[in-house]
C-alpha cells in the first residue's frame, strides 16, 4: 500500500480569499498527520497565490512526518528551499495563469537546468523528485539528471473519458513504474486522484507514495459542514 501525502495548498487558497488568518494550513497539516498522513505537500508558487513563505517556514518546524515542497526550478525557489530544508523538493513546471499544475516537467528540454538545480538541492541534503508525464523518455532523462524520485502525473488517467482510455492510461502508468524502478528511481504519483479513482493507482506495485490534495480538501468541507453549523447554532443561542 502506498503512503499518502496530503497536499494542503487549497486550505491556503481559502485563507487568501479573505486575506485573513483562517483557515490555517499549518493547523491543517497537524490534523492531517493526526489522521495518519505520511507527509505534507505544499507548492510555493512564484505568485504566492496560496501558500506563503510564512507557511513553509512554520510547516518546516511543525511537520513531524515528511515535508514535500513543490516548486519551479528557479533561482529564487532554490534559495528558499536551501534555507528551509524541506525533506523533499518536487520540481514542477509552473505557468502563471494556470489553475493547477497542468502537465509534467519537460526534463528532456530542460535537462541542464534541472540537473543543476538537483545538484544544488542535493548538496543541501534535500531529496529531489521530478513531476513528469508517464513517458519513458522523460523517465530516462530524469535518471540522467540525478533525480532521486519521479512523481508520475496521473491527470490523464483521472480525466479519461472512457473505460478504454482509463485502462490505457493505467497500463502506461504501470509501464512507467517498471521502467523507473529498473533505473533505480523511487516512484510516486498524483494529480486528480479522488475517492473514486484512487484504488486502481494504489494497486500498481512499486508506487511508494500518492500525493493528493483537491479531493481531500473538498471532502473535508463536506464531512465537516454539519458539525460546523451545529457549533455555530449552539454559540448563537
User: Which sequence positions are flagged as catalytic?
Assistant: 43, 70, 191
Give the Cα-Cα-Cα angle 88, 91, 96 (nearest 5 degrees).
130
By CB under 6 A, is residue 218 in contact with ligand PXP? no
The answer to whether the beta carbons of residues 116 and 75 sit under 8 Å apart is no
| Span interacting with ligand PXP, options 78-86, 111-119, 165-173, 209-217, rule CB under 6 A | 209-217
In the complex with ligand PXP, the residue whose CB is nearer, 36 or 231, is: 36
- x-or-dash pattern for ligand PXP, window 65-104, by CB under 6 A? -----x-------------------x-x-------xx---
Contacting ligand PXP within 98-137 (CB under 6 A): 100-101, 131
In the complex with ligand PXP, the residue whose CB is nearer, 66 or 191, is: 191
* Cβ contacts of 155 within 8 Å, gap of 6 or more: 102, 103, 191, 192
What are phi and psi for residue 160, nearest 5 degrees? -55, 140
Run of H or E including 29: helix 25-34
By CB under 6 A, is residue 138 in contact with ligand PXP? no
Cis omega (within 30 of 0) on the bond before 23? yes
| Residues binding ligand PXP (CB under 6 A) | 7, 9, 43, 70, 90, 92, 100-101, 131, 151, 190-193, 211-215
Amino acid at each position: 500500500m502506498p503512503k499518502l501525502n496530503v497536499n494542503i495548498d487549497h486550505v491556503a487558497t481559502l485563507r487568501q480569499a479573505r486575506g485573513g488568518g483562517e483557515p490555517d494550513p499549518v493547523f491543517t497539516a497537524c490534523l492531517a498527520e493526526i489522521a495518519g498522513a505520511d507527509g505534507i505537500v505544499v507548492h510555493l508558487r512564484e505568485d504566492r497565490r496560496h501558500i506563503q513563505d510564512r507557511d513553509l517556514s512554520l510547516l518546516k518546524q511543525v511537520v513531524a512526518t515528511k515535508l514535500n515542497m513543490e516548486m519551479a526550478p528557479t533561482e529564487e525557489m532554490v534559495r528558499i528551499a536551501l534555507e528551509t530544508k524541506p525533506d523533499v523538493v518536487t520540481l514542477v513546471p509552473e505557468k502563471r495563469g494556470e489553475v493547477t499544475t497542468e502537465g509534467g516537467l519537460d526534463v528532456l528540454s530542460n535537462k541542464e537546468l534541472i540537473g543543476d538545480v538537483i545538484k544544488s538541492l542535493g548538496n543541501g541534503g534535500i531529496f529531489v523528485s521530478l513531476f513528469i508525464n508517464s513517458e519513458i523518455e522523460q523517465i530516462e532523462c530524469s535518471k540522467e539528471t540525478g533525480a532521486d524520485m519521479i512523481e508520475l502525473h496521473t491527470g490523464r488517467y483521472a480525466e479519461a473519458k472512457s473505460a478504454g482510455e482509463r485502462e490505457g492510461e493505467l497500463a502506461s502508468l504501470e509501464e512507467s513504474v517498471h521502467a523507473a524502478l529498473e533505473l533505480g528511481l523511487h516512484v510516486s504519483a498524483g494529480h486528480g486522484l479522488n475517492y473514486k479513482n484512487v484504488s486502481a493507482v494504489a494497486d500498481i506495485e512499486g508506487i511508494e507514495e500518492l500525493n493528493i490534495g483537491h479531493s481531500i480538501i473538498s471532502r473535508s468541507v463536506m464531512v465537516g459542514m454539519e458539525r460546523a453549523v451545529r457549533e455555530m447554532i449552539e454559540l448563537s443561542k
